[in-house]
C-alpha cells in the first residue's frame, strides 16, 4: 500500500460527517492499478428491519459510492463527485462487516469509471456496482 496515497484516503474517509456515522475503513490500496478495498463494520442501526439481521440497501449503496470515489480519488488526490451510480443487489447482506472492492475501469480527463464488488464477512458476493465520477478538480 502506498503510504502517501493511503494517508490521503484515510483522511478523506474521516472528513465527511456522514462517514463519522458509517465509519468506513480503508483495508487495501493499489494506487497503480486503481484497486481499493473499503470495509464497513456492521451495526444494528444499519438493519432494514429491527427484528432481522439484513442490512438496508441504502447502506450498501453508500459503501459502493464511497469505494468508487476512493478508487478515483487515490489517483487524482481530490474529491470526485458522483455522476452516476448503479447497484445490483444479489443477496441479502448480514454478518459483522461488508467489504467493497473497487477497481478502476477507466480514468479520463473529466470522468472516471469504477466497478465495485461488495462481499459479506463470509466472502459471499452480495452486490455489484458501477460508478461514474467527475475527475475534474474544483
Domains of the chain: 3-134 (3.10.129.10)
| pTM for the structure as a whole | 0.95
Question: What grid cell was written down for 122?
Answer: 463470509
**Using N-to-C axis directions, what is the helix angle for 57-76 and 3-14, rounded to 10°?**
140
**Which residue ranges in the chain fall short of pLDDT 70?**
1, 138
Sheet containing 125-134, strands listed edge to edge, beginning at the edge strand earlier in sequence: 25-30, 35-41, 97-107, 111-120, 125-134, 82-89
pLDDT of 1: 53
pLDDT of 31: 74
Question: What grid cell was written down for 129?
Answer: 456496482
pLDDT of 17: 96
pLDDT of 37: 98
Percent of the chain with pLDDT over 70: 99
> What DSSP element (H or E) covers 118?
strand 111-120
pLDDT tens digits, 36-56? 999 999 999 999 999 999 999
Amino acid at each position: 500500500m502506498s503510504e502517501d496515497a493511503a494517508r490521503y484516503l484515510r483522511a478523506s474517509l474521516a472528513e465527511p460527517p456522514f462517514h463519522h456515522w458509517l465509519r468506513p475503513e480503508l483495508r487495501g490500496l493499489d494506487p497503480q492499478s486503481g484497486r481499493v478495498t473499503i470495509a464497513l463494520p456492521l451495526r444494528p442501526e444499519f438493519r432494514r428491519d429491527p427484528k432481522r439481521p439484513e442490512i438496508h440497501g441504502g447502506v450498501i449503496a453508500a459503501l459502493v459510492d464511497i469505494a468508487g470515489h476512493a478508487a478515483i480519488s487515490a489517483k487524482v488526490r481530490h474529491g470526485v463527485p458522483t455522476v452516476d451510480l448503479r447497484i445490483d443487489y444479489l443477496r441479502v447482506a448480514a454478518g459483522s462487516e461488508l467489504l467493497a472492492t473497487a477497481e478502476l475501469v477507466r480514468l479520463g480527463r473529466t470522468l472516471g469509471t469504477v466497478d465495485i464488488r461488495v462481499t459479506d464477512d463470509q466472502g459471499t458476493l452480495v452486490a455489484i456496482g458501477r460508478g461514474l465520477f467527475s475527475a475534474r478538480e474544483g
